[in-house]
Structure 1
């Protein structure tokens, strides 16, 4: 398989051109690549095992080819694109030395990813997207592109890249639908991300947000945590539900300012024209020794339209109310939470057009994940909860996980459609399984 034999590692080498968000080559501004990526050159695979490549630039007169079996490189003259498409292979501009075996290994690795079949298949037409996405993720997260550990390699090419490419397709479907209906201003697609605490959803959303923005498609992200009640209102809620540990602290349904969240989402969805601006609220979890409070509005980031994507993430996003007898059998205190949950769909979830659900086998992993997050917060010099406080805090979420996760995993989030829902199952180390 010639494509498998000679594609990918060239993109992740030092000679790979650095691209600005508009797709131009920073190292040579005169070489303006067509589209968002340097163009691929197609050469006939009848000449295999030599891989011929160049930028799609008529001024380029010479390029290198690589012997797939020996990894030896030579130079040859420019060869026109005479072969039929079915008789072509896709290759990047190759450096003077390239490890063809590594290219084949990486291509095979990507194709074997657990999310490929349910997101975007790897092909000649989209391999450039995979490569550029992987490179951008590495730069964002500080990974050495040339010396990826197995864990980093999996995180980039088995997780973040396929999820991003799936989101791209969802956005295209969303925009096509509104354009077909004749809308002059297309509202942003709201993508809901539902995942247990500590499962990595914040990093995932941060990465997706970044990838869209560097691709020139404005994105914004917000968490349902940003809609928590103020500390004063949370104290009032606890007093009104004295004896109910599930509503004593922030977290469960009822501890959010639904109207505030609705207004925020409406405002963000209205940013469809250039020059429109809005501030995005933030919640400070380190305030009051970890009890939390809404951050001062002066610290909220400001975003400018037109927005194309909004990521809304939360640990309980998409939970559906259940019969009272069901929740009472799990924990009698959950009955009040279940009643509160009835208002969440109309408040927030009706805005969501596509869903990403992070599925876990064991909700008790949240204890360890939450502890890791608090330790990181302390290392940054921020006040946080003690280990004992963390155990107590997380225990207040467990009844909801036990009640609402199974039906969401089996039936999908509240209001979701299967064709617009991506379920990613992860292990205890946050690596994707399926």
Structure 2
């Protein structure tokens, strides 16, 4: 797995003008809204790469924080899962170190992510694409909150002085608010 990421990162940093780079793509409307990879784009002459994802840059936390974790990390099984996912973050640290800068779009309330995902699914369905039901979205988002809860992983990322290079707070209506450097508190 990591060989591909390093190779991909190296291709982006040192492109060969004779050889296009295959950029992965993801379509959230596939598999009734669960999404899947689709045919990659082949590109050349890249100036800027935005590497986007819900846990980009997050670092492992003290496993003791799962003893009193927020919902949905409320059962022994959920705490064990969260601890395991926390441990898995160590494998991502070398990739995070390769980022030139880290910008975080930081919802003023992490629970907006559930509302936004429901809106996105409804928009896809209105365009005739498949999407998840509200109940399926709740289960889907809860799974990711169990894995890497925003209050335990994203909030520290934007509060640490060695965290994100830029933090942009986003309100419920997707409007940018405060913009600041991590560790300065907004």
What range describes the TM-score normalised by the shorter chain of this pair?
0.7 to 0.9
**Residue in structure 1 matching 2:144, options 397, 409, 415:** 397
Instruction: Look up the match of 1:319.
Output: 58
Instruction: Say what the alpha-carbon RMSD is for the aligned residues.
Output: 2.0
Structure 2: state its 5+ residue gaps: 74-78, 179-186
- Kindly report which structure 2 residues correspond to 1:16-415, keeping only aligned pairs within 5 A, or say none: 257-271=1-15, 274-295=17-38, 299-305=39-45, 307-330=46-69, 331=73, 332=79, 333-346=81-94, 348-399=95-146, 400-411=149-160
The structural deviation recorded for 1:315 is 1.0
Q: Classify 1:409/1:402 alpha carbon distance in 2 versus 1 (closer, same or farther; 3 Å).
A: same
Instruction: Look up the match of 2:181.
Output: none
What secondary structure is seen at the aligned counterpart in 2 of 1:282?
strand
The structural deviation recorded for 1:290 is 2.5
The structural deviation recorded for 1:308 is 2.3
TM-score (norm 1): 0.36
The structural deviation recorded for 1:310 is 1.2
For the residues of structure 2 that align with 1:341 and 1:289, how far apart are their CA atoms?
Answer: 28
Q: Classify 1:356/1:286 alpha carbon distance in 2 versus 1 (closer, same or farther; 3 Å).
A: same
Instruction: Look up the match of 2:184.
Output: none
The structural deviation recorded for 1:413 is 6.4
For the residues of structure 1 that align with 2:130 and 2:53, how far apart are their CA atoms?
Answer: 23
For the residues of structure 1 that align with 2:130 and 2:31, how far apart are their CA atoms?
Answer: 8
Count residues in correspondence. 167
Q: Classify 1:408/1:354 alpha carbon distance in 2 versus 1 (closer, same or farther; 3 Å).
A: same
Q: Is the CA contact 1:319–1:413 (under 8 Å) kept in the aligned structure 2?
A: no
Instruction: Look up the match of 1:180.
Output: none
Q: Classify 1:402/1:270 alpha carbon distance in 2 versus 1 (closer, same or farther; 3 Å).
A: same
Q: Classify 1:335/1:287 alpha carbon distance in 2 versus 1 (closer, same or farther; 3 Å).
A: same
The structural deviation recorded for 1:281 is 1.5
Tell me which structure has the larger Cα radius of gyration: 1
Q: Is the CA contact 2:33–2:121 (under 8 Å) kept in the aligned structure 1?
A: no
TM-score (norm 2): 0.80
Q: Deviations over 1:59-103 (max 9, x none)?
A: xxxxxxxxxxxxxxxxxxxxxxxxxxxxxxxxxxxxxxxxxxxxx
Q: Is the CA contact 1:328–1:334 (under 8 Å) kept in the aligned structure 2?
A: no
Higher relative contact order (CA 8 A, sep 6+): 2
For the residues of structure 2 that align with 1:345 and 1:329, how far apart are their CA atoms?
Answer: 25
Q: Classify 1:320/1:281 alpha carbon distance in 2 versus 1 (closer, same or farther; 3 Å).
A: same
Structure 1: state its 5+ residue gaps: 1-256
For the residues of structure 1 that align with 2:8 and 2:128, how far apart are their CA atoms?
Answer: 30
The structural deviation recorded for 1:309 is 1.6
